Amino acid sequence: MAGRSPKPTSGLTCQYNNSKLAITHTDINGRQISFRAPVAERYFILGRLSLLLQNLQKKHDDIRACNDKIVKIGVEMKNSLGPIKDGLYIEKEKLSNNTAMRPRNFNAADETGMEIGDDDVVSGI
């Protein structure tokens, strides 16, 4: 492992010397800060975790955008089906009103033995 140095990213230089990690960071003023194990390992791990966090935040934003689209489509479908549902409800009410307004004569029976206006009851009266 000696001599192996990963590709530097954002001013970081990582080196393994005698199986120990050493990280050199160059800040925006050009100063170099060196870390040795275990601080260097923690710094290296934090760098990796920050990349993972950025990746997870991007995926979260993508999923949130997809969810927003799905919710928007669902609301549009609900709004487009609302008038149809209301129309069916109005038709059902009209049918109920027409049924309620039918003349009923419970005293007279027709030839079939059924009472006028009551189709469900068979009467022998």
pLDDT in tens, 94-122: 888 888 777 776 655 555 555 555 555 55
Q: What is the pLDDT of residue 8?
A: 41
Q: What is the pLDDT of residue 62?
A: 95
Q: What is the pLDDT of residue 107?
A: 59
Q: What is the pLDDT of residue 78?
A: 87
Distance CA 34, CA 102 (A): 96
Q: What is the pLDDT of residue 80?
A: 87
Question: pTM (2 decimals)?
Answer: 0.39
Q: What is the pLDDT of residue 9?
A: 45
Given a contact cutoff of 8 angstroms between Cβ atoms, the answer to whether 19 and 13 are in contact is: no
Q: Which residues of 49-58 are buried (b: 16+ CB within 10 A; e: fewer)?
A: eeeeeeeeee
